[in-house]
Amino acid sequence: MDSYLLKYKYAKVFAPASVSNVGPGFDVLGFALEEPGDYIEVKVTDKPGVSIKKITGDGGKLSHDAERNTASFAALSFMNFIKADFGIEMTINKRMPFASGLGSSAASAVGGVFAVNALLQNKLPNEELIMHALEGEKIASGNSLHADNVGPALYGGFVIARSIFPIDIIKIPFPEELACLIVYPHIEIKTEEARRILPDMVTRTNAVKQSAHAASLIAGIMLKDYRLMGRSMTDFIAEPLRAKLIPMYNDLKSFLLQYGAVSFNISGSGPTMFSFFDNPEVLKDTAPKLRKFLKQMSIETDVYITKVNNQGPKIIQVK
């Protein structure tokens, strides 16, 4: 098809980390981060399919088998869809931790699809790309489809993942000045374990409270009402159980709320936690106190001070 003809032979792209399960938005609400993220490079070859040339930053953990790697499998799904008459050689540079609750597999999957799309003369829209990115993420998530990481990683900004079948991703406006603190303790919580501890059923009371808080949180984001956002960021279903897997959760929550955070919650299934600040200067003043506080903990921790990434993935170079 003419619309799928190649324009470039090489592309390098960046795909961002993301926060999912935002407060009461379990499997529904997520947002993209300016940092960290992954870098994916693809080079056109005459050999059909996808081969992985090199992976860096993964500590040897990721598979070089194209059908068992999230980035390459997502790219392969997309190439099959467009009936590509070319192959690609892929290089993956991981710049974010695994099993962190920051959408590492989603970033790789989005990066793989986005990089191939960047090679084309007429690029396909996100609505065509997202299902292939979700196919890639299934490699890491055990065939569990949810779009609250892939959605923001691809679309940027805050998104509501209303539905998978059919796909329905809704991007909502948010306060541009919103500052975000990311705290990643170096402990591992596997997504499978974090899902296993969740109840199969919830009470009617908790279901009503969760719905009310999710609705008011979205209203607070769109209205730029930080007080409404703050009092709506309560998860009655997953976070009370998952917080028990993170030794520093309660102490860190008390500390950050004391020093001006609008909210404090777990990102994804953890162990990463995040806070919103309505004033970047307050966050800037809090950061040194936070680092001093974290030194007292016995757990090595990374801290990111970032903003919401409204663009999503970006092309670094094409040629």
Residues identified as active-site: 137, 191
Sequence-separated (6 or more) residues with CB below 8 Å from residue 176: 310
Q: Which amino acid appears at position 205 of this protein?
A: T
CA distance 273 to 292: 17
CA distance 157 to 308: 6
Q: How many residues does the chain have?
A: 319
Measuring CA to CA, which residue among 95, 54, 51, 59 is closest to residue 75? Answer: 51
Measuring CA to CA, which residue among 233, 239, 311 is closest to residue 275? Answer: 233
Q: Which amino acid appears at position 30 of this protein?
A: G
Contact 182, 294 (CB under 8 A): no
Measuring CA to CA, which residue among 103, 49, 58, 54 is closest to residue 76? Answer: 49
